[in-house]
A and B are shown apart, each in its own frame.
Chain A
Amino acid sequence: MLPREARERTHIAQAMLDVMSAWGYGAVETPVAEEYAVLQAGVGKSLEGTAFPFFDADGQLLALRPEMTVPIARLAATRLRDKLAPHRLCYHSDVFREHASLRGQPRQFTQVGLELIGGKTPAGDAEIIAVLVEALRATGLSGFIVRVGTVEALEALIRVSGKDEPWRQAVLGAAQSRNLVAIDALAGAQDVSAQVRTALVTLPRIRGDRRSLKSAREVAGFCDGVSDALESLEATWELLEAAGVDDAVSIDFGTMRSFGYYTGMVLEVFAPQLGVAIGGGGRYDSLMSEFDSPMPAAGFAVGIERVHIALSQQDRLPQAEDVDAVLGGEASHAFAAARQLRESGMRVRQSLRAGEELVAEAAAFGAKQVLLATGEGLYRLDEKGSPQEPFDIGQSLFSQRPASTGGKVT
């Protein structure tokens, strides 16, 4: 990645982290390589085929982290055990995933996300959704939709079905791979009651705003587990309205996540025109007990590369010039002048070019100022490269930096 792209991504990540910080989340870092067993404790079988495993010199099995939730859960369970919960932790980290070859999927990508460890339903669910919406808005992205569902409803229906374990696993597997045709076929199996069958076929197809909760209750409310899940979603929705983010949220009972640790609300984020999710997350109330520190928790992660692509499709990339000024002239004069310019807050690229070539270099790097350092002082150059009026460094603080660029220039 080259400087301009790197700076754009830094802007995007920083805009999101600033929002998280405003909500009281503190950034954490964890090791890139973790013990395979630690990662597996949280994710179980889905770790196979996603993590890059390797042995260290002592023969211990390690893996590159495929995501950040499990490492942060471990961190919170050990290092924050005696601290006052809930823990609000956020991160900006590279993660690594193995994919079958030739699938057009990157193996390394960067996530910005957060974990709210110790936060319960529904306030905790509403908080992470609200932070997510605000963080994405802060990047300049528009039209995105956070699609919210719950794994509890389907799991409750499966429990009351009275069917055996292989059937239950097949239904969950079909839901996770978004295969409604397979769910229909499984629901049609003998000895599934008509009530459960209708609920299984209909529920994953219900989506929309608050009114979809009513539709869900009509087909599946007979099941206590579903009814509880709907109540909790309804309470969450009310808080989302209060937080002013409900217009970016859509309820969708077909939402499932492939990581197996989710226990309640699950979410995915989509942007128009981009066919793949830019982020996802949910509630994982049993993960912390894997590390002997049982407490409810929820979080999300957003793929920075995908937000970057979505912003570029919307032509809303942060304005990120490489430098503010290109400075020519004899080195002895230029070094002194450049130091003063940098102290005044400008980013200065020193150059050995002169005249029109210097102007061309400034254009190539997006510099607003083309300057020439001489024994007599500092001069601004015109588009032909001829010196014009003297340049006043004292003014540069106020006049030379671009006004608002939609984010901080780093």
Chain B
Amino acid sequence: MMVKRSTQAAGSERAERLKFAIPKGALAGGTLEALASIGVDPRVIKESGRQLVIATGRFEFIIGKPSDIPVYVASGAADLGIAGKDVLAELDLDVAEIVDLEFGECRMVVAEPENKRESVEEAYAHLGVIRVATKYPRIAERHFASRGVQIEIVKLSGNIEIAPLIGIADQIVDITQTGTTLRENDLVIVDEVMRSSARLIANPGSLCTRSEAMAEVISGLSVKPLQ
């Protein structure tokens, strides 16, 4: 389907490695599996120790925090990247979202303490505002705005579940896979914000100036054959 082209850039295209930003943490396992399917030996990355830039074969891998991957790709520091939809929606940067890689699946939900449900409603009726703790302020803001609910956002960078327990928020917006952590902290899900999974993203410029090399990787990583 992709048509081969011969451009003025084609000559220089071959020489350079594609820069591929990959996340550490929860998405790392699925990422290595996906990369194995296009012929990248996972050991090269696993055994790299503390090295964060690894050149191998046609790629130069850049290992980053999941929330930084879209920034690397949008700025052109990386041609390709793997990032969670949650992070993409939060950052809202100019990157092309190409393939749903169908791993790292989770839900972003609104949750609140089971034993305080009435008091949250009361607080909203009384004060007209809910305090919401989250790592995802923009997503939370958009979600509640679309429902016409006024909120105050408490931005935290981890352990969001604790916020209602220590009294700094009424509700939380966070991602959950199985719901175990929420249950352990006596939180119940009251609304779903979005579903997330790992996505293959690309820099729009690289799609254009390095189209052949990019197309090969993209079709290799497409889980389902395109119709």
B100 touches A202 (CB 8 A): no
The reply on B125 being an interface residue by CB < 8 A is: no
The reply on B48 being an interface residue by CB < 8 A is: no
Q: A145-B9, A180-B96, A182-B97 are in contact. Are A201 and B3 (CB under 8 A)?
A: no
| A227-270 near B? 1/0 per residue, CB < 8 Å | 00000000000000000000110101010000000000000101
Q: A145-B208, A250-B208, A275-B203 are in contact. Are A205 and B1 (CB under 8 A)?
A: yes
B96 touches A212 (CB 8 A): no
Chain B residues numbered 1-42 whose CB sits less than 8 Å from any CB in chain A: 1-9, 12
| Other-chain contact of A270, B3, B96, B199, B209 (Cβ < 8 Å) | B209
B227 touches A147 (CB 8 A): no
Chain A residues numbered 166-222 whose CB sits less than 8 Å from any CB in chain B: 177-182, 184, 197-198, 201-202, 205-209, 211-212, 215
A145 touches B209 (CB 8 A): yes
A248 touches B8 (CB 8 A): yes
Closest to A179 in B: B97
B9 touches A215 (CB 8 A): no
A275 touches B1 (CB 8 A): no
Within 8 Å CB of A145, what residues of B? 7-9, 208-209
Q: Shortest beta-carbon distance, B212 to chain A, in Å?
A: 9
Closest to A143 in B: B9
Closest to B210 in A: A272
The reply on A6 being an interface residue by CB < 8 A is: no
Within 8 Å CB of B52, what residues of A? none
The reply on A104 being an interface residue by CB < 8 A is: yes
Within 8 Å CB of B76, what residues of A? 273-276
B226 touches A104 (CB 8 A): no
A209 touches B96 (CB 8 A): no
The reply on A142 being an interface residue by CB < 8 A is: yes
Within 8 Å CB of B94, what residues of A? 177-178, 276
The reply on B99 being an interface residue by CB < 8 A is: yes
Chain A residues numbered 114-147 whose CB sits less than 8 Å from any CB in chain B: 142-143, 145, 147
Q: Shortest beta-carbon distance, B178 to chain A, in Å?
A: 24
Within 8 Å CB of A142, what residues of B? 8
| Other-chain contact of B207, A197, A215, A254, A272 (Cβ < 8 Å) | A254
| B184-227 near A? 1/0 per residue, CB < 8 Å | 00000000000000010001111111110000000000000011
The reply on B98 being an interface residue by CB < 8 A is: yes
| Other-chain contact of B211, A198, A215, A250, A275 (Cβ < 8 Å) | A250
Within 8 Å CB of B97, what residues of A? 177-182
Q: Shortest beta-carbon distance, A214 to chain B, in Å?
A: 8
Within 8 Å CB of B206, what residues of A? 275
| Other-chain contact of A250, B7, B12, B98 (Cβ < 8 Å) | B7
The reply on A151 being an interface residue by CB < 8 A is: no
How many angstroms between the C-alpha atoms of A247 and B99 in the bound complex?
29
B5 touches A250 (CB 8 A): yes
Q: A145-B208, A178-B204, A275-B205 are in contact. Are A206 and B1 (CB under 8 A)?
A: yes
B98 touches A180 (CB 8 A): yes
Within 8 Å CB of A182, what residues of B? 97
The reply on B75 being an interface residue by CB < 8 A is: yes
Q: A178-B96, A273-B76, A275-B76 are in contact. Are A208 and B209 (CB under 8 A)?
A: no
How many angstroms between the C-alpha atoms of A271 and B73 in the bound complex?
15
| Other-chain contact of B3, A180, A212, A268, A274 (Cβ < 8 Å) | A212
Within 8 Å CB of A147, what residues of B? 208
A181 touches B74 (CB 8 A): no
| Other-chain contact of A215, B3, B6, B75, B204 (Cβ < 8 Å) | B3
| Other-chain contact of A247, B8, B204, B205 (Cβ < 8 Å) | B8
B3 touches A181 (CB 8 A): no
B95 touches A272 (CB 8 A): no
Give the residue among B6, B93, B94 with the most A Cβ atoms within 10 A: B94
Q: A143-B8, A145-B208, A178-B97 are in contact. Are A275 and B2 (CB under 8 A)?
A: no
Q: Shortest beta-carbon distance, A198 to chain B, in Å?
A: 5
The reply on A363 being an interface residue by CB < 8 A is: no
Q: A205-B1, A206-B3 are in contact. Are A272 and B12 (CB under 8 A)?
A: yes
How many angstroms between the C-alpha atoms of A145 and B214 in the bound complex?
15
How many angstroms between the C-alpha atoms of A21 and B226 in the bound complex?
47
The reply on B77 being an interface residue by CB < 8 A is: yes
Within 8 Å CB of A184, what residues of B? 100
B77 touches A275 (CB 8 A): yes
The reply on A277 being an interface residue by CB < 8 A is: yes
How many angstroms between the C-alpha atoms of A207 and B7 in the bound complex?
12
B5 touches A206 (CB 8 A): no
How many angstroms between the C-alpha atoms of A104 and B93 in the bound complex?
11
A208 touches B226 (CB 8 A): no
Within 8 Å CB of B211, what residues of A? 207-208, 250
Q: A248-B8, A272-B12 are in contact. Are A143 and B209 (CB under 8 A)?
A: yes
Give the residue among B95, B205, B226 with the most A Cβ atoms within 10 A: B205
Q: Chain A interface (Cβ within 8 Å of chain B)?
A: 103-104, 142-143, 145, 147, 177-182, 184, 197-198, 201-202, 205-209, 211-212, 215, 247-248, 250, 252, 254, 268, 270-277
| 11 contacts across the A-B interface (CB closer than 8 A) | A142-B8, A143-B12, A147-B208, A177-B94, A184-B100, A207-B2, A207-B208, A209-B3, A270-B204, A270-B208, A276-B76
- Which 8 A-B pairs give the minimum distances between C-beta atoms? A275-B76, A208-B3, A178-B96, A270-B205, A179-B97, A212-B3, A208-B5, A270-B208
Beyond contacts A177-B97, A180-B98, A206-B3: 7 other A-B pairs, Cβ-Cβ < 8 A, are A181-B199, A205-B2, A247-B8, A271-B205, A272-B209, A272-B210, A274-B76
Q: Chain B interface (Cβ within 8 Å of chain A)?
A: 1-9, 12, 73-77, 93-100, 199, 203-211, 226-227
